[in-house]
């Protein structure tokens, strides 16, 4: 669907000021400003162009957006009471409870889903379809994986067609010993909508996390995967792909912390920036003294398609332990001229050739999404028809 791009409302204007006040009130804290290090490159004014209020269809909000969700064997839904002990623990452990997007989510009385997985939970797609109506939509999830449990879960946050919305998603995960989670988030957005996506994961030793986030089309998208290896000795694999064009902004601020020895991190973040779009990546990796023999690798690869687009990428390594391997790197390149010419010299027009090369760039991350993602044809959503 084609929507008019957001005209960002200057914070000083009346509408902008009213929206800022409403959001601040909900979160119990003023909007972050670019003077804060964490938000230095990220202008939040697109949030102020979303109509204020909680999005709701005229008949009122359904009590539970997931009442019809059928769960595979091994996956059980807990009610709020049963979940009380675990709710919030990952956020607290990841030092995120006071983080502004998390506070905003809490203030919006989010629809909440808690899933407990014992044994093999198989593969599950979790629809996150926003209700109709302009304004803020908030979801909160908690995934509890018991020792040795496994689950593949795809989140598909989706704004309601024709409505200008700010989607707020907070996902908490607790992985017990030897649990394995493949978590995907396929966030195909629109130019008149924003997404704040926070993920907080606690990993016990022997557990494995693969978390893949794919994001395109949002006026503003902010992804905040945070992982705590509580005693090290776990494996964390993070994948990110974000595409911006027009005046869109996508920002990923990740943080992985090792609180014990022999943890592993393998992180790849990719961005494609066209038009006057802006992509931000900040990857924190914290290796305190207790985390000896940590093995961490972080790579940021970026494709710059226009000279008006902008890419800011920064590793943020805090390494105190001395016996660690910690590799990191970042590249920003344009489509390779020789590759383009080779394709064109075989009769492939310049546009198709460019899309083939971009698709190859994106596939490296897309193929890591849970297999059900294919149904959504993410490559077409990202690049149009090839």
Partner 1 sequence: MIRPDAPTLLEIRDLRASVEDQPILKGVSLTIRAGEIHAVMGRNGSGKSTLSKVLAGHPAYTVTGGSVLYRGENLLELDPEQRARIGLFLGFQYPVEIPGVSNLEFLRVATNARRAERGEEELDTFAFEDLVRERLAVVQMDPAFLERSVNEGFSGGEKKRNEILQMALLEPVVAILDETDSGLDIDALRIVAGGVNQLAGPDNATLLITHYQRLLDLITPDHVHVMAAGRILRSGGKELALELERSGYDWVDQELARLGGEPERQPVEVA
Least distance from partner 1 to the Cβ atom of residue 359, Å: 8
Listed in sequence order, the residues at least 6 apart from 136 whose beta carbon sits closer than 8 Å to its beta carbon are: 26, 50, 52, 53, 54, 55, 104, 108, 165, 166, 168
Residue closer to partner 1, measured from CB, 57 or 351: 351
Residue 169: HSE in the Cβ half-sphere, 13 Å Cα cutoff = 26
Q: How far is CA 381 from the centre of its chain?
A: 17
Residue closer to partner 1, measured from CB, 284 or 348: 348
Residue closer to partner 1, measured from CB, 61 or 340: 340
Q: Where are the beta strands (DSSP E) in the chain?
A: 75-78, 111-117, 120-129, 135-145, 150-158, 165-175, 180-188, 194-203, 208-216, 220-229, 235-244, 249-258, 264-273, 278-287, 295-304, 310-319, 325-333
Whose tokens are 């919305």? That residue is 165
Residue closer to partner 1, measured from CB, 289 or 337: 337
Residue closer to partner 1, measured from CB, 15 or 342: 342
Residues lying near partner 1 in the complex (CB under 8 A) are found at: 337-339, 341-350, 352-353, 356-357, 359-361, 363-364
Residue closer to partner 1, measured from CB, 36 or 336: 336
Q: CA 62 to CA 77: how far, in whole Å?
A: 18
Q: CA 37 to CA 214: how far, in whole Å?
A: 24
Least distance from partner 1 to the Cβ atom of residue 340, Å: 9
Residue closer to partner 1, measured from CB, 59 or 347: 347
* Neighbouring-strand partners of residue 221: 195, 250
Q: CA 235 to CA 355: how far, in whole Å?
A: 34
Residue closer to partner 1, measured from CB, 11 or 348: 348
Least distance from partner 1 to the Cβ atom of residue 76, Å: 40
CB 294 within 8 A of CB 328: no
Least distance from partner 1 to the Cβ atom of residue 243, Å: 16
CA nearest neighbour of 237 among 202, 218, 262, 265: 265
Q: How many CB atoms lie within 10 A of CB 286?
A: 18
Least distance from partner 1 to the Cβ atom of residue 353, Å: 8
Least distance from partner 1 to the Cβ atom of residue 364, Å: 7
Least distance from partner 1 to the Cβ atom of residue 283, Å: 23
Q: Vertex 82, ends 81 and 87: CA angle to 5°?
A: 80
Least distance from partner 1 to the Cβ atom of residue 307, Å: 17
Residue closer to partner 1, measured from CB, 189 or 378: 378
Least distance from partner 1 to the Cβ atom of residue 347, Å: 4
CA nearest neighbour of 162 among 185, 127, 130: 130
Q: Extract the tokens encoding 302.
A: 């970026």
């Amino acid at each position: 669907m084609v929507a008019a791009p957001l005209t960002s409302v200057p914070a000083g204007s009346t509408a902008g000021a009213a929206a800022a006040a409403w959001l601040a009130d909900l979160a119990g804290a003023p909007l972050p400003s670019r003077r804060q290090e964490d938000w230095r490159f990220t202008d939040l004014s697109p949030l102020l162009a979303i109509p204020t209020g909680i999005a709701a269809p005229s008949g009122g909000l359904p009590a539970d957006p997931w009442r019809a969700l059928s769960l595979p064997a091994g996956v059980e839904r807990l009610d709020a009471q049963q979940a009380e002990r675990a709710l919030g623990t990952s956020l607290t452990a990841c030092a995120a409870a006071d983080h502004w997007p998390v506070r905003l989510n809490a203030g919006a009385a989010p629809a909440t889903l808690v899933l407990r997985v014992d044994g093999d939970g198989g593969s599950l797609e979790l629809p996150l379809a926003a209700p109709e109506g302009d304004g803020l939509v908030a979801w909160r999830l908690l995934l509890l994986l018991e020792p040795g449990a496994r689950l593949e879960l795809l989140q598909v946050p989706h704004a309601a067609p024709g409505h200008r919305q700010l989607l707020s998603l907070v996902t908490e995960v607790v992985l017990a010993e030897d649990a394995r989670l493949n978590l995907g988030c396929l966030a195909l957005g629109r130019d008149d909508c924003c997404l704040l996506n926070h993920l907080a994961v606690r990993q016990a030793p022997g557990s494995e996390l693969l978390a893949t986030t794919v994001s395109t089309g949002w006026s503003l998208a902010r992804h905040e995967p945070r992982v705590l290896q509580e005693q090290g000795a776990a494996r964390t694999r993070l994948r990110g792909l974000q595409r911006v064009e027009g005046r869109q902004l996508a920002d990923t601020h990740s943080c992985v912390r090792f609180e014990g020895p022999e943890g592993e991190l393998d992180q790849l973040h990719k961005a494609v920036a066209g038009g006057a779009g802006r992509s931000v990546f900040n990857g924190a990796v914290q290796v305190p003294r207790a985390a000896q023999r940590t093995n961490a690798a972080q790579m940021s690869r970026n494709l710059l398609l226009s000279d008006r687009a902008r890419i800011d990428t920064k590793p943020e390594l805090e390494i105190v332990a001395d016996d660690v391997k910690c590799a990191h790197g970042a590249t920003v390149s344009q489509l390779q001229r020789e590759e383009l010419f080779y394709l064109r010299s075989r009769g492939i027009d310049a546009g198709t050739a460019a899309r083939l090369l971009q698709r190859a760039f994106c596939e490296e991350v897309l193929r890591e999404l849970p297999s059900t993602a294919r149904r959504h044809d993410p490559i077409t959503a990202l690049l149009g028809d090839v």
